[in-house]
Amino acid sequence: MNNIIKIFACLLFLFINTAGCSHYLTKEQSEALVEILEILNKTIVETEAIMNKNPDPTSPYKELSEKLKTIQDNISRIREGKEPYSAEIMSKYSNEIIGIQMNIQNPVNRVLGVDVFFAPGRYKISDFSAEGKEVLDSFAADILELQAKKLRNLFPEKELAIVIKAIGYADEMPLSQWFAQELEKDINAVIPGDPVEKRKMLNRELSFRRAQSIAEYVRDHVQEMLKMLTIDNIKIDPPVIIGLGEIFPYADNNIDPPYMPRDKRRRICKIHGNVFVISQ
């Protein structure tokens, strides 16, 4: 009787622990999952260390961290038998992890003072200073040298995608009347009657347009360089452009308010370049 109870208890234990787990792993599959998890967990730690050092919610590291944790959750489901093991899916995850590693170990990021690029009230590419163009030419070259070429060497047959993200900021100064009128003509929204809200809206629009010009210049320069370098099978995604206007651009607690309305630390554009492997 005791033996029957023990056997019944064992069977009950097995049933409880395998309920809903219809997918089982071979030894080789288990070893492959362990190996990919080691690389994945290390990459998550590296990404979070960067985020803790520079807690900027607009940086691409937050998105990269979320992508890594999604992969981690999916692999956990496979280990638990809730999802089937697929060599194709594992290859896709490996490519994505290696691509993210390349981005965090070879970052291409800049914080650009827009005064270097634009005179007051200016925002078009045609308004760029010569110094501003040199800065962006160097930035575009770094995207290709530090990321695209290295990923191409690792994945000679895979398609790559370049993603450019620009976030613009402005100070709290009101715009000149002629420039405000120029912006108002193009804005497809109701202009607030309150002077402060109107100023905020126009500065947000100015910061967006400056970020847009910077991102589009980088995109166009990267396209020209790709033709000269003959790096094949690589595309440039539409730039990600954000205009945050008068929002203060730093999360650093060492920089305390109040900030002067004309504070030049507020007239900046953050720009990020990333290259990813496109997994089919």
87 and 187 co-located in one domain = no
Q: What is the pLDDT of residue 244?
A: 93
Q: Minimal CA–CA distance to 267: which of 172, 170, 200?
A: 170
269 and 222 co-located in one domain = yes
Which 8-state DSSP code applies to residue 139?
Answer: H
Q: In whole angstroms, give the CA distance from residue 182 to residue 173.
A: 17
Q: In whole angstroms, give the CA distance from residue 164 to residue 271.
A: 7
51 and 189 co-located in one domain = no
Q: In whole angstroms, give the CA distance from residue 38 to residue 107.
A: 22
155 and 42 co-located in one domain = no
Domains identified in the chain, total number:
2
In which domain, by residue range, is 39 found?
22-105
Q: What are φ and ψ of residue 167, in 5° steps?
A: -125, 120
Q: What is the pLDDT of residue 130?
A: 87
- pLDDT tens-digit series, residues 135-161: 999 999 999 999 999 999 999 999 999
- pLDDT tens-digit series, residues 183-208: 777 777 778 888 899 889 889 999 99
Q: In whole angstroms, give the CA distance from residue 20 to residue 15.
A: 9
What is the C-alpha radius of gyration for the chain, rounded to an integer number of angstroms?
25
Burial (0-12, 13-18, 19+ Cβ within 10 Å), 265:
middle
Q: What is the pLDDT of residue 126?
A: 87
**Domain end call among 66, 85, 105:** 105
112 and 101 co-located in one domain = no
**Domain end call among 105, 133, 164:** 105
46 and 126 co-located in one domain = no
Q: In the chain, which stretches have pLDDT less than 70?
A: 1-23, 251-263, 280
Is 114 within the bounds of a domain?
Answer: yes
Q: In whole angstroms, give the CA distance from residue 100 to residue 113.
A: 28
Q: Which string of DSSP letters, residue by residue, matches 50-101?
A: HHHHS--TTSTHHHHHHHHHHHHHHHHHHHTTSS---HHHHHHHHHHHHHHH
Q: What is the pLDDT of residue 253?
A: 53
- Spatial CB neighbours of 204, under 8 Å, sequence gap ≥ 6: 170, 243, 244, 245, 246
263 and 139 co-located in one domain = yes
Q: What is the pLDDT of residue 42?
A: 93
**Domain end call among 67, 82, 105:** 105
Q: What is the pLDDT of residue 188?
A: 75
74 and 122 co-located in one domain = no
Residues 72 and 39: beta-carbon distance below 8 Å? no
Tracing tokens 């309920």 back to the chain, one arrives at 19
